[in-house]
A = this chain, B = another copy of it.
Amino acid sequence: MGANTFGHHFQFHSFGESHGFALGCVIEGCPSGVAVDLEFLQAELDRRKPGFNPDQVTSQRNESDRAEILSGVFEGKTLGTPIAVIVRNQDAKSQDYSQIKNNPRAGHADDVWSEKFSHRDHRGGGRSSGRETVARVIAGSFAKMLLRQVQPELKICAFTTQISDLKLSSIEKNDFLEKAKTDKGYLQDHFQARFPLKDQNAIKDLLSQALESGESYGAKAEIRVFGMPKSLGQPVFQKLKSDLATALMSIGAVSSFQLGLGNPDEMKGTEFHLKSEAEVYGGIRGGISTGEDLVLEVKFKPTSSILDIAKKGRHDPCIVTRALPVIESMVACVLADHVLLKRLDQV
């Protein structure tokens, strides 16, 4: 399988450099007859817009990342053929990058990339740029449309639980989960940072100051999937937990993946197994979903763009907000894939 391809049957092939003509993906293995919601696709893309606006924690519509569907969709439904979607890079040619050509940016992958391929697009991160995640959000949107149709109860929700020393209390978290579970549809909640602290000003203050002082922060996020079907995942090497791990660890800023919350390594068996709560064991046993909520946790390292002189004052002080739709997209792709593969389990 190609190095830019994700998935077993529901697959997508990601392409595009951060400063090339366009980015996008080709989705293969999506069945025919899925209702295509263009507004939803665009809303998902808008959630991962670049830049942080300290005056509002909510996203502002970014007109530039406009999805163009080239194939695979006709009269509002998927055809069962490859779905090609692109997003153009608007300022691909407009800047002068000659000075950074021979100066790989510290903290980025510029130098390892040059070493590996000898020839590199020096105008930006190329494929190692966070901009590549546009392809993932496109694929994830189609995965969610498929899931909406075949698994209508299923709902994927990623949210921030910690940035620096700001941590969600268990009351704040439970309130959020209650609301998230009962909310209708996938579209809800596009316009918030998804860090449901009561004191939203504390977040603004922390990130604004970081922006000013050239600092960045790591973060922790949790993923919940409500309405999980049973029997997703295959034994041994397509365990649901290992497919989710590769999905999320393939995101640049993610350093760590955990199934379930807390510290399983510090627990006793009598505690761990007798509790038998999804929060502890994560909703997967023997690699296969049990039907309980899926509970995952990922850690983000602090962004490296603080080291990038060119981005002074425009860097992302914490990547987590923009990363949440990417995380949800990758989880959706894994689940869509396994929902289809489940059809092949029994004769």
- Residues of A whose CB lies within 8 Å of any CB of B are 1-6, 8-9, 11, 13-17, 20-24, 26, 28-29, 31-34, 68-72, 74-75, 77-84, 86, 106-109, 112-113, 115-121, 125-128, 132, 146, 149-150, 162, 164-165, 214-220, 230-231, 234-239, 241-247, 249-250, 252, 255-260, 263-273, 276, 281-282, 285-290, 299-304, 306-307, 340, 342-347
Contact = CB atoms under 8 A, between A and B. Distances in A.
B21 A70 contact: yes
Among A26, A108, A281, A288, which residue has the most Cβ atoms of chain B within 10 A? A26
A164 B109 contact: no
B345 A116 contact: yes
B267 A235 contact: no
Contacts of A282: 255
A151 to B, nearest CB: 11
A162 to B, nearest CB: 6
A231 B235 CA distance: 30
Nearest to A256: B258
Given A119-B33, A345-B116, A347-B146, A270 B20 contact: no
A273 B71 contact: no
A68 B21 contact: yes
A132 B3 contact: no
Given A3-B28, A79-B126, A242-B250, A306 B270 contact: yes
B6 A267 contact: no
A335 to B, nearest CB: 15
B273 A307 contact: yes
The number of times this chain is found in the oligomer is: 4
B31 A306 contact: no
Contacts of A120: 74, 79
A3 B235 contact: yes
Contacts of A285: 108-109, 112
Contacts of A272: 218, 301-302
A80 B249 contact: no
Given A127-B235, A287-B128, A288-B109, A28 B16 contact: no
Given A32-B117, A80-B119, 18 more contacts: A1-B8, A9-B9, A13-B28, A14-B82, A17-B74, A21-B69, A33-B117, A33-B118, A112-B288, A116-B230, A116-B345, A150-B347, A216-B270, A246-B249, A255-B260, A256-B265, A267-B302, A269-B302
Contacts of A244: 249
A5 B237 CA distance: 6
